[in-house]
Amino acid sequence: MTSAMIRSLSEPWPWYVAGPLIGLLVPALLVAGNRMFGVSSNFRHLCAAVLPARLEFFNYDWRQKGIWNLVFALGILVGATVAGLYLDGNADVPLSAAARDSLSALGIHDLGGLVPAEYFSWSALMTGRGIVMIVGGGFLVGFGTGYAGGCTSGHGISGLADMQLPSLVAVAGFFAGGLIGTWLVLPLLLGA
Amino acid sequence: MRTATSPSASAADSVVQPVRTLLIYLVLGVLFGIVLTKSQVISWFRVQEMFRFQAFHMYGILGSAVITAAAGLQIIRRRELRSLDGQAIVIPPKDMGRGTRYWLGGTIFGLGWALVGACPGPLLALLGSGVGVMAVALMSAIAGTWVYGALRSRLPH
Q: How far apart are CA A93 and CA A14, in angstroms?
A: 12
Taking only the tens of pLDDT, chain A with its 192 residues reads 678 888 889 999 999 999 999 999 999 999 999 999 999 999 999 999 999 999 999 999 999 999 999 999 999 999 999 999 999 999 999 999 999 999 999 999 999 999 999 999 999 999 999 999 999 999 999 999 999 999 999 999 999 999 999 999 999 999 999 999 999 999 999 985
- Contacting A residues, span 118-177, partner chain B, CB-CB under 8 Å: 120-122, 124-125, 132-149, 151-153, 155-167, 169-177
pLDDT of residue A192: 58
Contacts of A143 in chain B (CB under 8 A): 105, 108-109, 112, 144-145, 147-148
Report the length, in residues, of chain A. Answer: 192
Contacts of B105 in chain A (CB under 8 A): 143-149, 170, 173
pLDDT (tens digit per residue) in A75-100: 999 999 999 999 999 999 999 999 99
Contacts of B70 in chain A (CB under 8 A): 23, 160-163
pLDDT of residue A6: 87
Taking only the tens of pLDDT, chain B with its 157 residues reads 444 444 444 555 555 568 888 999 999 999 999 999 999 999 999 999 999 999 999 999 999 999 999 999 999 999 999 999 899 999 989 999 999 999 999 999 999 999 999 999 999 999 999 999 999 999 999 999 999 999 999 999 9
Percentage, residues of chain A above pLDDT 90? 95
User: A45 at the B interface (CB within 8 A)?
Assistant: no
Contacts of B117 in chain A (CB under 8 A): 115, 133, 137
pLDDT of residue B16: 59
Q: In DSSP terms, which residues pair with B82 in a beta bridge? A: B88
The separation between CA A27 and the C-alpha centre of its own chain, rounded to angstroms, equals: 20
- Whether the CB-CB separation of B146 and B125 falls below 8 Å is answered with no
User: A8 at the B interface (CB within 8 A)?
Assistant: no
User: A187 at the B interface (CB within 8 A)?
Assistant: no
The torsion angle over the Cα atoms of residues A175, A179, A182 and A186, rounded to 10 degrees, is -110
So what's the ipTM on this one? 0.96
pLDDT of residue B6: 46
- Whether the CB-CB separation of B109 and A145 falls below 8 Å is answered with yes
Three-class secondary structure of residue A33 per DSSP: helix
Q: Which helix (H) or strand (E) holds A177?
A: helix A165-180
For chain B, the C-alpha Rg in angstroms (whole number) is 20
Q: Phi first, then psi: give them for residue B88, nearest 5 degrees.
A: -70, 140
Q: How far apart are CA B75 and CA A23, in angstroms?
A: 13
What is the distance in angstroms between the Cα of B10 and the nearest Cα belonging to chain A?
19
From the candidates B47, B59, B77, B94, which should be mutated to test the interface with A, based on the most A CB atoms within 10 A? B94
pLDDT of residue A15: 97
Q: How far apart are CA A140 and CA B109, in angstroms?
A: 6
Hey, are the CB atoms on B37 and A141 less than 8 Å from each other? no
Q: How far apart are CA B53 and CA A171, in angstroms?
A: 16
Q: Where are the domains of chain B?
A: 94-157
pLDDT of residue B3: 46
- Whether the CB-CB separation of A167 and B134 falls below 8 Å is answered with no
- Total CB pairs under 8 A between chain A and B: 514
For residue A102, how many C-alpha atoms fall within 13 Å in the half-sphere facing its CB? 20
DSSP B122: H
Would the pTM of this model clear 0.90, i.e. be above it? yes
Contacts of B49 in chain A (CB under 8 A): 95-96, 98-99
Contacts of A14 in chain B (CB under 8 A): 39
Burial category of B147 from C-beta neighbours within 10 Å (exposed 0-12, middle 13-18, buried 19 and up) = middle
What is the distance in angstroms between the Cα of A4 and the nearest Cα belonging to chain B?
17
